[in-house]
Amino acid sequence: MSVFEDRFRARYGASEVPVPAASSALIEQLLTHKSVRAYRPDPVSDDQLSAIIAAAESAASSSNLQVWSVVAVRSQATRDALAECAGGQVHVREAPLQLVWLADLARLEMISTALERPNAALDYTEMFVTAVIDAALAAQNATAAAESLGLSTVYIGGMRNRPEEVAALLGLPPKVFAVFGMCVGYEDDARPASVKPRPPQSVVLHRERYSLADQQAGIDAYNAAMAAFYTEQKMNVRGDWGIHSSKRIAGPETLSGRDRLVDALHALGFSLK
Ligand SMILES: Cc1cc2nc3c(=O)[nH]c(=O)nc-3n(C[C@H](O)[C@H](O)[C@H](O)COP(=O)(O)O)c2cc1C
């Protein structure tokens, strides 16, 4: 079996899945992605950071507005404080570098104000969504780039648990919001992570028209694959993927404080009209 076939099957946690004839070194690398939550203290160099940021900046940007930024945090004290904001996640303390990805409308506000031009569109939800998309696209390029350098990452959505505190810690001006953090560092081989299976393509790929009903067989297969994965990984997850995901959306109390996100965004200067 080729490396590509091996990785393709591992991605779906299935030996039966048909492997496509099209492949590339990039796809082969993307197939190995795994979130890592155990890091060695070895630092990420400034050269590595610069290469990662060049990859991030290579992402597309809506109308080339570049409404995103990123704060690179190496300070242990700040990482500890960010870890607390994110629900006490130990890997945020542990990873030597935390990249906090920002939806950033402040830069355009500053530029347009200096040009004495109106900028009322910044107050609309559309511009907020645009900035979140820009930040996410840049961040995912950064993840792939970091992994290609032998580094590991994990996104930290917990950064949205207490947005105002994160903003204060990082000195964010109004109209800048931390969309998520990202641990970057070298995986501790003594505590390795595994590639987590994904739903079969029949769940996510629709041809010409969307269908919910056509997804059921794939969802059933994925539930079985994830139940096996949870057991194999000795993860403390009861039931299967559907049950696990349903618990996560049960109500506002399951959102780790993010049920008040709209209020937080208003406080941070986003009108969301
Ligand atoms: C936007 C975003 C936020 C996430 N937030 C967290 C987080 O706060 N803590 C964490 O341990 N993992 C977090 N993750 C990682 C997901 O749990 C992980 O990507 C998912 O379980 C799939 O596993 P994999 O990345 O290993 O394939 C986040 C992922 C994304 C995309």
Q: What is the DSSP letter of 68?
A: E
Distances in Å between the Cα of 146 and the Cα atoms of 4, 24, 201 are: 20, 18, 26
Nearest to 245 by CA among 228, 222, 261, 262: 222
Nearest to 101 by CA among 150, 44, 48, 52: 52
Tell me: pLDDT of 15 over 90.
no
203-207, 223-227, 233-237: least confident range = 233-237
Domain boundaries, the chain: 1-32, 34-194, 197-257
Q: State which ligand 1 atom lies nearest to the alpha carbon of 198.
A: 27
Q: Ligand 1 centroid vs 144 CA: distance in angstroms?
A: 14
Query: What is the per-residue pLDDT across 151-178, written as a single tens digit (0 to 9) for each?
Result: 999 999 999 999 999 999 999 999 999 9
- pTM assigned to the model: 0.97
Q: Ligand 1 centroid vs 259 CA: distance in angstroms?
A: 19
Query: β-strand 97-104 against 68-73: which pairing, if any?
Result: antiparallel
Check if 196 has its Cβ closer than 6 Å to any atom of ligand 1.
yes
**Neighbour count for residue 273 (Cβ, 10 Å):** 12
- Residue corresponding to tokens 């607390």: 84
Q: Ligand 1 centroid vs 155 CA: distance in angstroms?
A: 5
CA-nearest residue, atom 9 of ligand 1:
156
Check if 157 has its Cβ closer than 6 Å to any atom of ligand 1.
yes
> To the nearest 10°, the Cα dihedral for 262, 265, 269, 271?
-30
Query: What is the per-residue pLDDT across 207-224, written as a single tens digit (0 to 9) for each?
Result: 999 999 999 999 999 999
What CATH homologous superfamily does 34-194 map to?
A: NADH Oxidase (3.40.109.10)
Q: Ligand 1 centroid vs 182 CA: distance in angstroms?
A: 9
Quick one: which H or E segment has residue 178? strand 176-185
Exposure string of 22-49, with b = 16+ CB inside 10 Å and e = fewer, is ebeeeeeebbebeebbbbbeeebeeebb
Let me know if 159 is exposed, middle or buried by CB neighbors in 10 A (0-12, 13-18, 19+): buried
Tell me which amino acid residue 26 is: L
Check if 82 has its Cβ closer than 6 Å to any atom of ligand 1.
no
Report the sign of the C-alpha dihedral through residues 57, 36, 15, 246, in that order.
Answer: negative
pLDDT value for 205: 97
